[in-house]
Amino acid sequence: MSVQTTERVKLVDPRDAHAKPPFKNQSPIEMPGHTAQMDPVPDHGEQSYRGSGKLNGLSALVTGGDSGIGRAIALCYAREGANVAINYLSESDDAQQTAELVKEAGANAVVLPGDLRDESFCERLVDDAFDQLGAIDILVNNAAYQQTREEIDDWSTETFDRIFKTNVYATFWLCRAAMKRLPPGGSIINTASIQGYDPSAYLLPYSATKSALLGMTKGLAKLGSKHGVRVNAVAPGPVWTPLIPGTMPQDHLQNFGADTLFQRPAQPIELAPLYVWLASPDASYVTAEVFGCTGGKTPV
């Protein structure tokens, strides 16, 4: 058998692949955040990701798809041949930019704004995505909300409730609605977090929601298996997204990600290929799993 001679893949030193702290003071970013205001601007794979048809003809609904990990997922899915419905809360400029990236890849893009804390909206979101794309083969529950506080007395019930409604209730509502639409071979992918295993005190409610998603992922996988639907999760460590300057004080922000083995945070594009693989037929025997991408910060 002859072996084709091809150009050697260029290896990248992960220590120096992307920006490292200390980061500059960021201009105050009101949640849900604005990508263009960040310095450096996150890398979603605009210049680097090349698809190979892993998701040709499939359709995906991605929550929190306007920026950060969600934008990188939408971009990679589109370049792999999938049509993408992008849900976001209120940052329409970022959402439109993501939609343009999807369209430039030759895929259909649907933009569906709305508040995931509303049960009826979650149900409509799944229906609208299905109607406009013609199918839902992949659901990515990526949207999340967090706030930081230094003492437990600083957490209001209103804030606690908002974090749980966005991160946990919405995931349940969307999964319940999508399970009626997903075909055998379809998949649900939840964005968990290192915080579900190694919680930071100043992120107490957020950490609790991510622990809840671990259990929901594994439990739902058992229900999904009856329908041929796979359910998995990705647990990121520190990732450079608008959620960070939008919610963290400057003293946390300047050294964000410095405590990983690579001494830097991940960029969104460094996680998105995991979501591609989990959604593809290549991962046909993978369900009820949580895949860490933490820069070696902790085993997941």
SS3 readout for the chain: CCCCCCCCCCCCCCCCCCCCCCCCCCCCCCCCCCHHHCCCCCCCCCCCCCCCCCCCCCEEEEECCCCHHHHHHHHHHHHCCCEEEEEECCCHHHHHHHHHHHHHCCCCEEEEECCCCCHHHHHHHHHHHHHHHCCCCEEEECCCCCCCCCCHHHCCHHHHHHHHHHHHHHHHHHHHHHCCCCCCCCEEEEECCHHHCCCCHHHHHHHHHHHHHHHHHHHHHHHHHHHCCEEEEEEECCECCCHHHHHCCHHHHHCCCCCCCCCCCECHHHCHHHHHHHHCHHHCCCCCCEEEECCCCCCC
The pLDDT value given to residue 33? 67
Residue range 146-163: mean pLDDT, rounded: 96
pLDDT reading at 2 higher than 70 = no
d(CA 76, CA 276): 7
**Mean pLDDT rounded to a whole number for the chain:** 94
Mean pLDDT confidence for 224-240: 97
Region 254-277: mean pLDDT is: 96
Please give the pLDDT value at position 28.
64
Fold of 56-293: Rossmann fold (3.40.50)
201-229 pLDDT tens trace? 999 999 999 999 999 999 999 999 999 99
- Please compute the mean of the pLDDT values over residues 40-62 and round it to a whole number: 97
Which tokens go with 126? 């799944």
Percentage of the chain lying above the pLDDT 90 cut: 85
Q: For the chain, what is the radius of gyration of the CA atoms?
A: 18
State what percent of residues in the chain have pLDDT above 70: 95
Phi, psi (degrees; rounded to nearest 5) at 28? -55, 130
Whether the ω angle into residue 245 lies within 30 degrees of 0, i.e. cis, is no
Q: Which range has the worst mean pLDDT, 21-25, 57-61, 169-173, 279-283? A: 21-25
Q: Which of 88, 197, 206, 275 is catalytic?
A: 206
Tell me: pLDDT of 1 over 60.
no
Given a cut of 70, whether residue 59 has pLDDT beyond it is yes
The answer to whether 268 and 240 have CB atoms below 8 angstroms apart is: yes
Whether residue 206 lies in the annotated active site: yes
The pLDDT of residue 4 = 64
Over residues 179-201, the pLDDT tens digits come to 999 999 999 999 999 999 999 99
CA distance 293 to 235: 6
What value does the mean pLDDT take over residues 5-9?
82
